[in-house]
Structures are given as C-alpha cells and as structure tokens.
Amino acid sequence: PIETAGYSKIDGYVSYGIVDPDNNRKVNYTIMNTNLTGNQVVTFSGWRNFNSSYSSNANQTRAVDFTLDTTPPILLSYELTSSMQNGVLVNKLILNYNKTVNLSNISNVITALVYSNNGNILPMNISYTGTAEDKTVTLILDNLTLEGGTYNFTIPKDFVLDNLSNASLATTIQVQKSAGSSSNLPAPLSAVQDATNPSKIIVTFGNKLDLASVTNVSNYTLGNYTNPVSAVIEQQDNNKAVVVLTFSNSAIASTGTYALTIRGIKGYNGSYGEMKIFNTTLSLIENTSAMVVSCKQVSPYGIEIELSKPVTGTGTFQVYTGSTYVTPASTYVGGKVIYLSFNQAVSASYLILTNNYFVDNNNNTALINSPLSVQRTY
C-alpha cells in the first residue's frame, strides 16, 4: 500500500499524485499538458509505501505511450430477446461493442422499420430504458407486444461514448422477432354470468389475446359438451381482455353448478403460447326462455297469448286482419298470459311482435316467434 503519493515529472511538467481512495496500491496523476503524444519519459519521485525505508523515495523512470485512442466504438454483435419476468413479457435489444461504452442519453426512443410476418410494413418509434455495463448496452423496449417479423433498427450517431468520449457512428441493424413464445398465456382472472342476461358468461383475462383463438367457440365448453354460439372480445388492451360467451336458449337448463372448460387461447401476436387447459366451476341461473303455448282470440276485442312460464315487462304488437294491420289499444301481462285488447272488433289472422321487452323472473327474454298464428275460440 502507498502511504505518500509523491509526484511525476513529464517534459518539465510536475504533477502531484493522489492515492486512489478505492485502491491504495494505485496513484492518480493529472497531466496538465494535453499535447503530449507518443512515448514520453516519466519520472516518479517522492513516493513511499507503508513500512518502507526512505530509500524507496528514489526516482523511478518509465516510458509511457501518450497516444490517445480516437477510434469510435464499433458494434460487434446484437440480438433481440423476449422473456417472461414476474409474469410480464420483456423485450430486450442487446448491443455488444468492441470497447467499454456508456449511453450518451441523446434520446429514449429508437426507430425501426418492421416487415411483419403478416405482410405489413410498419415504421415504429419504440421507447426504451437503457443501461450500459462494460462493453454491453441493454435496451428494455417498452412495447410489450412486438409482433413477429424482421426489424431494421436505426442506431443513431453518438448513441454511445467510450471512456475518451469517442462517439459511435450511425448504423442500421436487422434482427428477427419470432411470432412464437415459450411462455403459456396465464389463466383467466375471472369467469362470471352476466347480471342482466343469463345466456352470457363474461371471461376476463389480464393480457391481450389472439383474435382467432379467442373467438373460436370450440375452445369453450360448458358442462360436458355445450359450446357457446358466439365468443366476442368486448374490450381489449395491453393489460386486459374481456370475452363475452353467449349460449343458446336452455343451454343452462336449470339453476345450479356447472363446469366451464377453456382451452387453446393464445396471446396477441405471439406474446404468449397456448394457455394450459383452464377448468372452473360456476354457479349459474337457468337461461330457459318463456315460450308460446297458445295464441287465441277469445273475443272480438281480445287476444290471449299463453306462455310456458310467468313473465313481466311489455312489448308492442300488430295484428293482421286479412286486409290491414291493427295495433292493440292496450297490453296487459299477468303471470303466464299476455292479453291484447282492441277498441274495435277484429278478426285476427296472425300477429307480429315488433318490440319484445318480456322477461321471466331470471331476466330471460321471452321467446315469441313472429308472425304468430291466432286461433279463434269464441
């Protein structure tokens, strides 16, 4: 260890040394003459290490090459990686240089021309968070769902600096982004029956989804074999996707517990591979609609529609008499019967339901097919 740093003498200039605070075997000399170049004779004097005699102060002479490196940092290799970190997809652009570098912080956005696998050509500005360690620069790209394809990144001039402030030159690099992912799509966050329509089940994911797989009704099974008639993405962004499954009338035959199985769902643009089979159990309300049992004209001024279960609500009808359409003066609902009354005598052939707001106690919309034949009973 060095106790006294001493001084150096170069071409008549004297510089007093300072023992490095992090390494007491090292002395730093600041050279004021910036014009030195080539090999120069340097004399070190006045230094002394611990537990040494004063004879160690003797002059030491060395030849030192003062030719400074003026070459720019050169990019040797690069790669684009994708991996899962704490459940989040992280894309990194890794740049390897020929010397130790630091980021110049000229920008936090990098430009790219993307030739996507689906044939699109897209210019992109991608924000990043960058770090530099030794000869490697790592850019964590903010875009979570980079689609598969070829990326031509433009690395701007002065992007990195070496230890002597030599700046890098502009360059363009080409990397491939695979559309696939080794990570499985996480399971849904929730699956619940819609509060206003028992025929719908709402499934919420915490990730953006692949459109083709999520709208494939065969990927959803209620009970042992029942698939929905439709699967629609109602809402989607980078952090959430809401899928609405609509089941046919009577698919949920009675109120009770049902198994729901979801399979085959993938992440958007290859961000995640296929989700593992997801099984859950739901408490569901039956979705069997009230259906027409009979439609009778019980008097010249009245028609009764009998349904299979009680309903409430309202609706609008028109009755065809053979030559004209007549609108009922009023509509009354009581239990399983809808009663239409008229201000004039009519001879009804059939009726047409123009607006249907009739629902049962579980909010299932009544199934009244139109036109509906009318049977005369008086």
Question: 292-376: same fold as 75-177?
Answer: yes
Sheet arrangement for strand 230-237:
190-193, 200-205, 240-246, 230-237
Question: Residue with structure tokens 């692949």?
Answer: 210
Query: What is residue 230's predicted lDDT score, i.e. its pLDDT?
Result: 98
The yes-or-no verdict on residue 182 having pLDDT over 70 is: no
As a whole number, the mean pLDDT across the chain is: 89
pTM of the model: 0.56
CA–CA separation, 215 vs 234, rounded Å? 11
CA–CA separation, 360 vs 353, rounded Å? 17
* Spatial contact of 142 and 126, defined as CB atoms under 8 Å apart: yes
Query: What is residue 54's predicted lDDT score, i.e. its pLDDT?
Result: 56
Domain ranges across the chain = 2-65, 75-177, 190-284, 292-376
Question: Residue with structure tokens 């980078």?
Answer: 238
Amino acid identity at 340: L
Backbone torsion region of residue 87, taken as left when φ is above 0, otherwise alpha when ψ lies between -120 and 50, otherwise beta: left
Fold of 292-376: Immunoglobulin-like (2.60.40)
The yes-or-no verdict on residue 146 having pLDDT over 80 is: no
pLDDT tens readout for residues 184-203:
888 999 999 999 999 999 99
Q: Which residues contact 139 (CB under 8 A, 6 or more apart)?
A: 92, 93, 94, 95, 110, 128, 129, 130
CATH no., domain 190-284: 2.60.40.1220
Q: What are phi and psi of 151, to 5 degrees?
A: -115, 120
The β-bridge partners of 251 are: none
Query: What is residue 64's predicted lDDT score, i.e. its pLDDT?
Result: 85
183 or 190: which carries more pLDDT confidence?
Answer: 190
Nearest Cα neighbor of 208 from 251, 114, 144 is 144
Burial class (CB in 10 A: 0-12, 13-18, 19+), 198: buried
The distance from CA 144 to its chain's CA centroid, rounded to whole angstroms, is 6
CA–CA separation, 266 vs 143, rounded Å? 18
Give the range among 20-34, 79-93, 235-249 with minimum mean pLDDT: 79-93
Tokens of 78: 């690069």
pLDDT tens readout for residues 24-62:
889 998 887 777 778 888 988 888 887 766 555 567 888
Nearest Cα neighbor of 342 from 323, 375, 319, 358 is 319
Please check whether the domain covering 75-177 is classified as CATH 2.60.34.
Answer: no
